[in-house]
Structure 1
Amino acid sequence: MTETTVRPMPPDPTPPDGTPPDGRPSDGRRPADRPRLPIAGLVTGGLLAAVVATWATLPGRAVGIPMPSLAVDYGLPITRLILDLAATAALGLSLLPKLLGFGDPARTEPVATRARHWAVLASLVWCAAALVSTVLSAAELTPGQTPDIATYVARIPAGRGLIVSASCALLSAAVGMLAVRFGEKVPAELRVLIAGFGLLPLPVTGHASNWYWHDLSMVSMELHVIGAASWTGGLVALAVLLARRRELLAATLPRFSRLATYALVIVGLSGIFNGVVELLLTPGESFPGSLLTSRYGWLIVAKTVLTGVIALLGANIRWRLMPAIGRGSVTAFAGWAAFELTIMGLAYGVAVAITRAPVA
């Protein structure tokens, strides 16, 4: 008889989260391929909505009256959209370590490391977009002339708000680079605080500063902005970095789901409050008819519908996908998250147009 030698099988090098040691997910794609769909959906949806909504709400051009060029008319909402999305991404990526938790650093630290690098990049894009928005905003006020940026920043609150936002973005990038170097010794709370504070000056560029109860309106708008950024930015971080890491996603998604629920309530209530108040206080407009007779009302209706669709998609992830992910089942989380982020992009594009649209 011939003796047969049975060789023991080598241990499976694939870690429990389903990602092989070479960094490729189980479907053979490289990690760099994973973020393309959700990011593309968010940016494409935002650009489409910003351009269409701007076109629909631009005032007519009068003969003999200097008007901003089309480059300013469309460039300003586009750069403002980039600013909003980059700031949102910086906030969400800074928030991710808190969602991951710190109980299993061997598993979470590789993801947190990537998040810290990407947060720095997002902050730099945010800073650049804020500076370009400042130039375009100054050009909008002096059509046909060289924009006087210094005067615009000194005299117009919106200009000062953009410079403060750009400064916070630069600080966010600097602190983020320290976090890249020293890890979580630079607290995630500090990075989230800086990114969130950089979003607060932005509401002064819209209608929130136009009515009598200024303070209440500003607080409501700032809650709206922070809530939307936390919700969207958190989903961006999960979709980009955790979609194929099932074990980490199962542990992190319930924490994010609670955050998203609070954010939905804040965003919905504050958005309705601000939109309705603007229409109520507009001379010559009767509410609720103005929702259908004014371009500003159309945008409010569109954003409300988009928020409702986002809420339904979020409910699908929470009530249908999250239990399956917790059981270790294969789900279409990446696809649903990309779909939700596309609708969020549309909502961001409409929001940019709302800040610039005439109420009447």
Structure 2
Amino acid sequence: MASETVPGARSRSTTVGILVVTAGILAAVVAAALTALSASDAYAAYGLPDPGAVTEYGLPVVRVLAETGAVVCIGSLLLAAFGIPASRSGPLLADGYAAVRAAGWAAGLWCVGAALLVPFTAADATGRPIGDVLDAQVLFGLVDALEEAKAWLLTAGIALVLAVGCRVVLSWGWTVVLFAVSLLGMFPLVATGHSASGGAHDIATNSLLFHLFSATLWVGGLVALLAHLARGGAHAGLVARRFSRIALVCWIVMAASGVVNAFARVPLDQLFSTTYGALVLVKVVLLVVLGVIGHFQRERAVRTVAEGGGGLLRLGAVEVLVMFATIGVAVALGRTPPPAELGAVPDRTELLIGYPLDGPPTALRLLFDFRFDLVFGTAALVLAGLYLYGVRVLHRRGDRWPVGRTVAWLCGCASVLVATSSGVGRYAPAMFSVHMGQHMVLSMLAPVLLVLAGPTSLALRVLRPAAKGGPPGAREWLLAFLHSPLTRWLTNPFVALALFTGSFWALYFSGLFDAALPQHWAHLVMNAHFLLAGYVFYWPVIGIDPAPRPLPSLAKLGMVFASMPFHAFFGITLMMSNTVIGSDFYRGLSLPWASDLLADQNLGGGLAWASGEVPLVVVMLALLIQWSRADYREARRLDRKAAVDGDADLAAYNEMLRRLSAGDASASGAQNPTSRSDG
């Protein structure tokens, strides 16, 4: 380790720091320059007065500042959590600690930039000079009215938590937690801006979700990798190879999601005739250049990293500069109104849910009127592909995997796909009854099928364990998650039951559902919660994978029966209620075939009541089969043991009975003479 603190390593670390600062300045200049081409037109298009040069050019510069801090923070935590080899228990190693400290400084920069963006966003949205909104009372009023300003305020709070957390965290487990929190800090940006409003905002938001996270992991990961090599960090070759795999996946996701998002925002015929379209084309060209150059750079870097990492530092510098120039273009895109937003105003249904509805939800429309969900539809297809790949790997090794588990997994993925991407997913945001049907599939059918497939057991058999004394890999990370305090807490029977049954009542009867209906991101969160809460509940009950808290058979049966009244009462309560849940949103849609909102809600309650019993029957059947198989396996085990030891257990049991019988006879013989003498 002493060799890592030589002046050469310090000089390389300084070089990386200068590179990041230079790249950030380049991104700010690009963003400000490109904004100058369209900002004035944007204010005129939205009917706003010009807020002045400070607001006009200061906002993109400050946004680049915030995004620079975000990508460096997330990339450094990614490196510390999954790039640099570390023990699952105990304190971080020196390289991991250095990466976490760098993430802390970047989080501070992120926090400052996000906090500054609150007044800048308020001034920009109202067309006022920045000085006019710095009054506390005025600013608070504007923040309360502007979703984007709220998002930046929330982001600043999350970044502050990260900055403090990075100063006190010393273990690998808490580093993973901070990394998850850092990803959460990017989510408010997805929920606001151009992609979150107007027509097709469901596709635009979902694609932006993929685009933003993949770009952040790619850019931040490369900066963190360069910093690690500049410090003379250990396992440089392994760290570079791990990042290379992540970078390839991120580039593919960025390219695909960027194309989808562009077509959702700008019509094809205006791609070459508008400023927004020109910026999209520039960004596409930069991404292609990054993909090609970055691939060849990393291939060469992995070969030269053993010589000290100097090759990667030189090659990576070019990639970082192009990456941050791309960030500048992206910021300018965010400041430019897309043509679709300035074109014909979509109808009210399309404005609220993102797309039009062609008519009432007939059986054919519910089955075949597909609108692919980029988040859950993609997840279903990817998970199905990964599972089939794992089964294929086992077959190549000569290992067997039950066909029934594969069928269960594919059926579970198909149920998620149908619930979110078929006509059910299309009509769910607009009608309570269809939403409730989607809820039942995601929370009570798909999780049952998924846990019966044993995905964790398959993954543990496919993934290779780390060599003795070697750095941990994917298999060790999975085991660490399975045995983590969070997993043990979630699979606690009382917690799992409360999440599974209590969330029904908390969501629909507390006002949360009414607040979530107008927000597309809230629908994503709801669907994810339904699916995960169901999985956590059914995993310890009927799951093939060993649960962190194994339950006896009676406890499993008790959890199933305990959940039944809650679902029945929930459905009956909805059917008997005279208050329409989400009435303001549904009335705003003004769907001619869904004018009786109370009747539609009662239908949803009936679906919740009736469909809730079907998965429970499947669960009971699965429990009976598992108990029968467990008894059969136990009988076979005893038979094999008896064949080996000559049925020693039975012989010992018979001998015990013989001795007990002989003892009783002796006791009777000893008592009889006494009785005769007494006579």
Relative to the length of structure 2, the TM-score reads 0.46
Whichever residue aligns with residue 245 of structure 2, its letter is R
Aligned residue in 1 for 2:132: 146
CA offset digits 1:182-235 (Å, max 9, x no partner): x12552211111111101111344210123333332122111111111111110
Aligned residue in 1 for 2:58: 75
1:293 is aligned, of 265, 273, 284, to: 273
Distance across 2 between alignment mates of 1:91 and 1:198:
10
Share of identical aligned residues, percent? 24
Distance across 2 between alignment mates of 1:36 and 1:184:
26
CA offset digits 1:290-313 (Å, max 9, x no partner): 121100001000100111111122
1:197 corresponds to 2:184: yes
Distance across 1 between alignment mates of 2:308 and 2:89:
24
Distance across 2 between alignment mates of 1:159 and 1:250:
43
Whichever residue aligns with residue 127 of structure 1, its letter is C
Question: What does residue range 209-220 of structure 1 map to in structure 2 within 5 Å?
Answer: 209-220=196-207
Distance across 2 between alignment mates of 1:100 and 1:50:
33
Aligned residue in 2 for 1:172: 162
Contact 1:38 1:240 in 2 (8 A): no
Whichever residue aligns with residue 54 of structure 1, its letter is T
2:35 is aligned, of 17, 41, 54, to: 54
Aligned residue in 2 for 1:115: 99
1:272 is aligned, of 241, 250, 259, to: 259
Distance across 2 between alignment mates of 1:173 and 1:329:
31
1:20, CA displacement in angstroms? 2.3
1:159 corresponds to 2:175: no
Contact 1:45 1:343 in 2 (8 A): no
CA offset digits 1:169-193 (Å, max 9, x no partner): 01111221221xxx12552211111
1:163, CA displacement in angstroms? 1.2
SS at match of 2:86: coil
Contact 1:41 1:339 in 2 (8 A): no
1:48, CA displacement in angstroms? 2.2
SS at match of 1:332: helix
2:75 is aligned, of 82, 92, 97, to: 92
Aligned residue in 1 for 2:24: 43
Contact 1:178 1:186 in 2 (8 A): no
**More helix by proportion, 1 or 2?**
2
Distance across 1 between alignment mates of 2:22 and 2:11:
19
Distance across 2 between alignment mates of 1:264 and 1:32:
26
Distance across 1 between alignment mates of 2:48 and 2:330:
28
Contact 1:41 1:345 in 2 (8 A): no
1:247, CA displacement in angstroms? 5.2
Whichever residue aligns with residue 129 of structure 1, its letter is G
Cα 1:330–1:219 change in 2 (3 A) is closer
2:304 is aligned, of 302, 310, 324, to: 324
Cα 1:186–1:170 change in 2 (3 A) is farther
SS at match of 2:7: coil
SS at match of 1:67: coil
Q: Higher mean Cα deviation, 78-87 or 146-155? A: 146-155
CA offset digits 1:239-288 (Å, max 9, x no partner): 122146375321101111111111111111111111111112xxxxxx2x
Aligned residue in 1 for 2:602: none
SS at match of 1:120: helix
Cα 1:268–1:185 change in 2 (3 A) is closer
Contact 2:73 2:106 in 1 (8 A): yes
Distance across 1 between alignment mates of 2:203 and 2:65:
27
2:291 is aligned, of 311, 324, 345, to: 311
Contact 2:69 2:107 in 1 (8 A): yes
Contact 1:38 1:236 in 2 (8 A): no
Cα 1:65–1:131 change in 2 (3 A) is closer
Relative to the length of structure 1, the TM-score reads 0.84
Structure 2, unaligned runs of 5 or more: 340-679
> Whose RCO is larger (CA < 8 A, sep 6+)?
1
Cα 1:237–1:249 change in 2 (3 A) is same
Report the structure number with the largest CA radius of gyration.
Answer: 2
Cα 1:247–1:130 change in 2 (3 A) is closer
SS at match of 1:242: helix
1:131 corresponds to 2:115: yes
Distance across 2 between alignment mates of 1:86 and 1:214:
27
1:226 corresponds to 2:213: yes
1:57, CA displacement in angstroms? 1.5
Structure 1, unaligned runs of 5 or more: 1-14, 281-286
2:8 is aligned, of 8, 19, 25, to: 25
Contact 2:155 2:188 in 1 (8 A): yes
Q: Higher mean Cα deviation, 314-323 or 143-152? A: 143-152
Cα 1:330–1:130 change in 2 (3 A) is closer
1:334 corresponds to 2:318: no
1:129, CA displacement in angstroms? 0.7
2:224 is aligned, of 237, 242, 246, to: 237
Q: Higher mean Cα deviation, 65-74 or 293-302? A: 65-74
Whichever residue aligns with residue 177 of structure 2, its letter is L
Cα 1:126–1:290 change in 2 (3 A) is same
Distance across 2 between alignment mates of 1:33 and 1:138:
37
1:53, CA displacement in angstroms? 0.9
Cα 1:135–1:329 change in 2 (3 A) is closer
Aligned residue in 2 for 1:345: 324
Q: What's the C-alpha RMSD, in Å, of the aligned pairs? A: 2.6
Whichever residue aligns with residue 100 of structure 2, its letter is R
Whichever residue aligns with residue 162 of structure 1, its letter is W
